[in-house]
Amino acid sequence: MVTHTLWPEFLSIVREEVGSRVVETWFKAIVLNRWDPTTKTVFLQAPNPFVQSWVTTHYQPLLAQHLGRLLHEQQVTVSFTEIASAPTSPVSVPPASTTQAPAPLAKSGPLTLSQRTLAQTAPAKPRNSVNDQYQFSNFVVGPHNSLAYAAAHAISEKPGKLYNPFFIYGGSGLGKTHLLHAIGNAIKERTPSCRIIYQGADRFVNEFINAIRFDKVYQFESKYKDVDVLLVDDMQFLAHKEQTQEAFFHIFNTLQQTQKQIVFTSDSLPREIAGLADRMRSRLESGLITDISTPTLETKIAIIRKKAEAHQEKLSDEVAEYIATAITSNVRELEGALIRVFAFASLTQQPLTLELAAKIIARTVEPSKSPTDLSTIGARVAKHFDYSLQDLKSAQRNKDISFARQIAMYLMKQCTRHSLREIGKFLARKDHSTIIHALEKIEQRKQNDPEFVQLLTELERKVNAP
């Protein structure tokens, strides 16, 4: 692979793996200088020592693993060449939504590369192994996740014996993936020989498609049938993938019959996953199902404290409470905000005061994407059609109300990160199949009704207005 496509490729993999926030905050500021095939070393350059040390501490295995894979090398060394002098001018941290890479400082200053290179070697791990950053010990337990945690913990002590399968569901960024890896890590620690596969359902689908293409379905199935513990993340991606579901069904049966532990996560209940074959659904429902809901303020503060501790950063009570209050429910966003606040304070060498935290957070929290927004969208759409939010939530089904309601559902999906389930719950619908139906109808109408598209655009503008 040519080196100039290597980094963008790496970024897109990492984005999938750890989320775009990490990419925007850390990796985009890094430049891949060169690849030396003789020493099998990738030379990266960070804009400043802070970014370098952060990335080295937190993402070294990730770098080695994926760069190794992309370069078709078992093992690569990742080395940082950094600028000798610390930045003197204030640096701004890009907001999470910025897609443009911040210009590395190295470009504007004199390019004196120090000899101090930070080399570490990590063997390339297979992609679907568990991530040891996610442990039970760094998972904060609160009322919103205590049941899921307890079950996960119990399972890790007796895999295959207690709840099989175990199904965790809940909104985005609430800790499902963390818990899934934590189960894998705990089992691995107890029984190092245990064969564990972690896989995202979307990857599972792709892998299956490739297996068909290259006539390797047998190998594909054997790989999964041959494990002791199977952890599958984000099962909602199996929606409407009938053939993959079928393959999965066989794997599932084999594993369950031989008492191998299976754990799933999803953003919704099995019965709410659209286009899931009945027999598949009943299998998913056959074990224990628990949800993770949104954390309380106290739990959010506890999570912030734990993360600060892990990053060896100090945080005053008032700043912790401020961040916990400002970020409504999503733990991933909470973490992103915290990292930006630390990074900004450190890069600009300012003490982390409440004012500074408020300034940074106000700039980066996107109001229209904030999780509290369902009521604003509902109210604004309702108002446009001369109804109230209560009308939308009511059982009334006359044509006009249904129309307004469907548009509200559509915009709620478009303009927030809420799951279908959450939107359904907000609008007092029994399940979220009505939402799926609404989205389908709207999509259809968009295809052949330009006036309708115009109406949608106008309403979208309205709901996103400050």
Distance CA 313, CA 344 (A): 13
Binds 178: which of ligand ADP, Mg ion, none (CB < 5-8 Å by kind): ligand ADP
Interface with ligand ADP includes 177 (CB under 6 A)?
Answer: yes
Nearer to ligand ADP, 68 or 175 (CB): 175
User: What backbone torsions phi and psi does residue 150 show, to the nearest 5 degrees?
Assistant: -60, -45
CA dist 24 and 4 (Å) reads: 19
Look at the block and give the residue holding tokens 């064969």: 195
Burial of 466 (0-12, 13-18, 19+ CB in 10 A): exposed
Give whichever of 225 and 306 is closer to ligand ADP, judged by the CB atom: 306
Shortest Cβ 177–Mg ion spacing (Å): 3
Q: Which one of residues 66, 69, 176, 429 is an interface residue with ligand ADP (CB under 6 A)?
A: 176
Nearer to Mg ion, 177 or 364 (CB): 177
Instruction: Examine residue 290 and tell whether it contacts ligand ADP (CB under 6 A).
Output: no
Of the listed pieces 64-72, 98-106, 168-176, 366-374, which binds ligand ADP according to CB under 6 A?
A: 168-176
Give me the 334-363 binding string for ligand ADP, x by CB under 6 A, dash otherwise.
-x----------------------------
- With CB under 6 A as the contact rule, the residue among 48, 65, 172, 329 that binds ligand ADP is 172
Residue 200 found at the interface with ligand ADP (CB under 6 A): no
Instruction: Supply 26's token pair.
Output: 């850390």
Residue from 25, 52, 145, 419 in contact with ligand ADP (CB under 6 A): 145
Burial class of residue 130 in the structure, from the number of CB atoms within 10 Å of its CB (0-12 exposed, 13-18 middle, 19+ buried): buried
User: Alpha-carbon distance 95 to 222, whole Å?
Assistant: 44
Residue 127 or 393 having the CB closest to Mg ion = 127
Token pair, residue 11, equals 């970024």
3-state secondary structure of 95: coil
Q: Which residues contact 239 (CB under 8 A, 6 or more apart)?
A: 273, 274, 275, 276
Chain residues in the site for Mg ion (CB under 5 A)? 177
Residue of this chain nearest to ligand ADP (CB atom)? 175
Cα-based distances in Å from 163 to 59, 294, 320: 33, 24, 37
Q: In angstroms, rounded to a whole number, what is the distance separating the alpha carbons of residues 271 and 285?
A: 8
- Which does residue 164 touch among Mg ion, ligand ADP, none (CB within 5 to 8 A, set by kind)? none
The owner of tokens 């079950």 is 151
Binding mask 99-138 for ligand ADP (x = CB under 6 A): -----------------------------------x---x
Token representation of residue 337: 């905000």
Residue ranges that bind ligand ADP, judged by CB under 6 A: 134, 138-140, 145, 170, 172-178, 303, 306, 331-332, 335
